[in-house]
Amino acid sequence: MTLPSTTSEPLAAACAAALDAVHRQAPLVQCLTNHVVSGFTANMLLALGAAPAMVDIPAEAGAFAPVASGVLINLGTLGGRQPEAMREAAAAAHSAGTPWVLDPVAVGALPVRTPLAAELLGQRPTLIRGNASEIAAVAGADTAGRGVDATIDVDAVSGAAGELAGRLGAVVAVSGPVDLITDGATVVRVANGHSLLTRVTGAGCALGAVMAAFAAVTDDPLTAAVAASCAYGVAAEDAASGAAGPGSFAVALLDAVATLTPDRLADRARLEVVR
Amino acid sequence: MTLPSTTSEPLAAACAAALDAVHRQAPLVQCLTNHVVSGFTANMLLALGAAPAMVDIPAEAGAFAPVASGVLINLGTLGGRQPEAMREAAAAAHSAGTPWVLDPVAVGALPVRTPLAAELLGQRPTLIRGNASEIAAVAGADTAGRGVDATIDVDAVSGAAGELAGRLGAVVAVSGPVDLITDGATVVRVANGHSLLTRVTGAGCALGAVMAAFAAVTDDPLTAAVAASCAYGVAAEDAASGAAGPGSFAVALLDAVATLTPDRLADRARLEVVR
Amino acid sequence: MTLPSTTSEPLAAACAAALDAVHRQAPLVQCLTNHVVSGFTANMLLALGAAPAMVDIPAEAGAFAPVASGVLINLGTLGGRQPEAMREAAAAAHSAGTPWVLDPVAVGALPVRTPLAAELLGQRPTLIRGNASEIAAVAGADTAGRGVDATIDVDAVSGAAGELAGRLGAVVAVSGPVDLITDGATVVRVANGHSLLTRVTGAGCALGAVMAAFAAVTDDPLTAAVAASCAYGVAAEDAASGAAGPGSFAVALLDAVATLTPDRLADRARLEVVR
């Protein structure tokens, strides 16, 4: 991959400014997410300098979303009445203008989450984050996922992601070895990251929450998604350098996110912008 | 803050004796808590030398509470039929004389947990633990919380906490930079702790479980709450000394709780007693 | 305990081959487990080189089990409609021939999980894993458990475990200081492990998932259970050597599982085989 730094420098600076805004504003991020990753997700938001609020039950979820700075809806495990709470939160976020992120975990063939994801698109998510298989499924492309694993390549869904983004007026972020982020017009590739992220449960899910935090402090969702992805990737690179395996890597990732500065983010960003 | 050591030495010794009793008795602490922090809470109890039992469903929760040494009820996420299980457990604990702790997470404006907290007060919690906003809300004081964040000062709720404690015959513990603990007559301030506790999700929630463990081994709930708060704070100071951020701090906190001795607790306690 | 290495060498070699097969095949392990340990369990599977899929709601659980390589059903917390999802998953796994593991957490006196465990036995689990109290309860022996703690000795249930295994055509694994694993004909004792495993919540629960991963890649469930127990125990010994307490031990355990090689497993296995 060629990284034309002349093109990407303004975006790297915008990412740094967004991180600074997160630090200053400490956005309150409401998470309706799965029980597997809820603790790690909340810790990631706290490490970032944001404030998590895991308000995810009916009657409370809709009441809270207008107060929140950003909302994450992650379909990983839909226990109890969580789907109802998600409908409430998405509708309330949409009405109130609270930016919200949809993470369509393992959407495709599974019969509860797949129609729920389709329904929630009607509430106009600000951002949609997933792996290539999940984004393909949301976009209605013909693919088969294997649970939460991406079985297809990021670049293979570039067209579907752009079409989905354009149709919904949303930003679509496809996670992979190189993340692909698009609003339907511009495509950004973020080359930061580390393969150990695939060995930590909830690494992708927590990135969705980080995107909601960034979306809360910037008016441009494309910048928010790129800044989140890039900050996360730089922190992962730092964390991996001293890790003895996935356990110590996950711990170090929280430390690295907590100590990442805007300047360091700008220096280390590896972005490619295609308009 | 002045720390009149002449006054607080007997209390520090009582805290050390309570920690020794936890180590010897390994109290069985039943937790009905939120899915975000349940793993960390169970690990904290194990680190302390207590035994966690996360029995939190209807039919089982009420049956288990009389067998448990102590019970924690934390309102963080009230998924499925957890409220019903909490009603059962609180009633059974009250009837059986099992000490129990109420943690009214984010109570105030939210429409499910707020009336549930009020209802559960009827089962006479032994201890109520929360931040200043939550305690103010439970006490019926006029304040506005922002999710789980305290937006008001510990000392600002000193009066409300004392009134609540006296009215219910409970001990009320207000967490903050300096914890304030009162039974309505005596007020104790615990100055141990570290700001990194605010960067770990469930640090406060796990403290509620630790309080239930201490309440299980001592007849004096005020001493139990102070011992728990002080032990937790000393361990946090130890953990922070070698931590590179909130991730490594959370890991080190478990290690520090596991290795804390009664003597060290007595030496390091920073208590102020006001009668 | 005498360790007759002449008898156990072929089994140690089979364990090493099974670990190699896990690494090569990356089995997809569906987990229906409790909210306390779901994150740690998924991380353990990822560390091992397997792929977790926490699909645990009705309509989806049954649809997924035929696609999964192995299934874990753990009765720790039965929130929402999880029992219904477990019935689906067990039936679908049985029909499809997907190997599945039952972990009857705290079964005995508790009124929801105890009859559910009995009912699920009808779907013929490939493996049953628990502590001595839990295995005794499942076998119908007369004992009293204290929540998740084993209050009776592994060897005390050797007869009941063998009888249960023979009756169901299953392998029964009893966790303790020395694990006892039997198919009703052969009894294997695994002496690897470390006492810090009892200070980490979900250490036993995650072992159940690891057993499902091994059962997915070998036709012999006895070898699968022994390989899982032995790999876990060797990793625990490695992790304990550098740990400062239960917090750092849990992190190091994930690292040690991720870096364990088949050769090291064969070298370090401490097995006793009694036919």
Tell me the pLDDT tens digit for each residue of A6-47: 468 999 999 999 999 999 999 999 999 999 999 999 999 999
Q: Report percent pLDDT > 90 for chain A.
A: 90
List chain C residues with CB under 8 Å of A205: none
d(CA B149, CA B161): 18
pLDDT at residue A147 greater than cutoff 80? no
What's the mean per-residue pLDDT of chain A? 94
Instruction: For C201, name the nearest residue in chain B, comparing CA atoms only.
Output: B43
- pLDDT, one tens digit per residue, over A66-87 is 999 999 999 999 998 999 999 9
pLDDT digits (tens, 9 = 90+) for A88-111: 999 999 999 999 999 999 999 899
Helices (DSSP H) in C140-245: which residue ranges?
158-168, 203-217, 221-241
User: Of the candidates B85, A111, A144, which has an alpha carbon nearest to the alpha carbon of residue C58?
Assistant: A111
ipTM, interface predicted TM-score of the complex = 0.94
The pLDDT assigned to A139 comes to 95
Chain C residue numbers touching A40 (CB-CB < 8 A): 39
Strand, coil or helix: what is B223?
Answer: helix
SS (H, E, C) chain A: CCCCHHHHHHHHHHHHHHHHHHHHHCCEEEEECCCCCHHHHHHHHHHHCCEEECCCCCCCHHHHCCCCCEEEEECCCCCCCHHHHHHHHHHHHHHHCCCEEEECCCCCCCCCHHHHHHHHHHHCCCEEEEEHHHHHHHHCCCCCCECCECCCCCHHHHHHHHHHHHHHCCEEEEECCCEEEECCCCEEEECCCCHHHHHCCCHHHHHHHHHHHHHCCCCCHHHHHHHHHHHHHHHHHHHHHCCCCHHHHHHHHHHHHHHCCHHHHHHHCCEEEEC
Nearest residue to B31 (alpha-carbon basis) of B16, B15, B46 = B46
Number of domains, chain A: 1
Contact between B63 and C149 using a beta-carbon 8 Å cutoff: no
User: Of B187, B234, B224, nearest to B72 (Cα)?
Assistant: B224
Of A81, A109, A201, the CB nearest to C52: A201
pLDDT by 10s per residue, chain B, length 275 = 444 444 689 999 999 999 999 999 999 999 999 999 999 999 999 999 999 999 999 999 999 999 999 999 999 999 989 999 999 999 999 999 999 999 999 999 899 999 999 999 999 999 999 999 999 999 996 554 445 556 678 989 999 999 999 999 999 999 999 999 999 999 999 999 999 999 999 999 999 999 999 999 999 999 999 999 999 999 999 999 999 999 999 999 999 999 999 999 999 999 999 97
Closest residue on chain A to C49 (Cα): A199
What are the phi and psi torsion angles at A225 (to 5°)? Answer: -65, -40
Whether the Cβ atoms of residue C173 and residue C129 lie closer than 8 Å to each other: yes
Say which residues have a Cβ less than 8 Å from residue B19's Cβ, sequence separation at least 6. B214, B227, B231, B260, B261, B262, B265
Query: Does the beta carbon of C251 lie under 8 angstroms from any beta carbon of chain A?
Result: yes
| Option in B111, B113, B149 nearest A51 (CB) | B149
Is C174 near chain A, with CB under 8 Å? no
Cα(C149)–Cα(B53) distance, rounded to whole angstroms? 9
Chains contacting A (3+ CB pairs below 8 angstroms): B, C
Give the pLDDT band (50/70/90) at residue A226. very high
Contacts of C256 in chain A (CB under 8 A): 245
Which range of residues forms the domain containing residue B17? 5-274
Please tell me the predicted confidence (pLDDT) of residue A271.
Answer: 97
Mutate to test the interface with C, among B60, B86, B201, B260 (most CBs of C within 10 A): B60
Is the Cβ of C28 closer than 8 Å to some Cβ of chain A?
yes
Instruction: Tell me the chain B residues in contact with residue C77 when contact means C-beta distances shorter than 8 Å.
Output: 54-57
Give which of A254, A257, A259, A260 to mutate to test B binding, by max B Cβ within 10 Å: A254
Nearest Cα to A34, choosing from A78, A95, A97, A100? A78
Q: A259 and B251 in contact by Cβ < 8 A?
A: no
- Count interface pairs A-C at CB distance under 8 A: 100
A151-190 per-position pLDDT tens digit: 678 989 999 999 999 999 999 999 999 999 999 999 999 9
Write the CATH number for A256. Answer: 3.40.1190.20
Low-confidence ranges of chain C (pLDDT < 50): 1-6, 144-146
- Residue keyed to tokens 């896990």: C22
Of A36, A110, A147, the CB nearest to C39: A36
Percent of chain A with pLDDT over 70: 93
What single-letter amino acid sits at C252? A
Q: To which residue do tokens 């105890």 refer?
A: C114
The nearest alpha carbon in chain C to B64 belongs to C110
Identify the CA nearest to C102 among candidates C22, C189, C209: C209
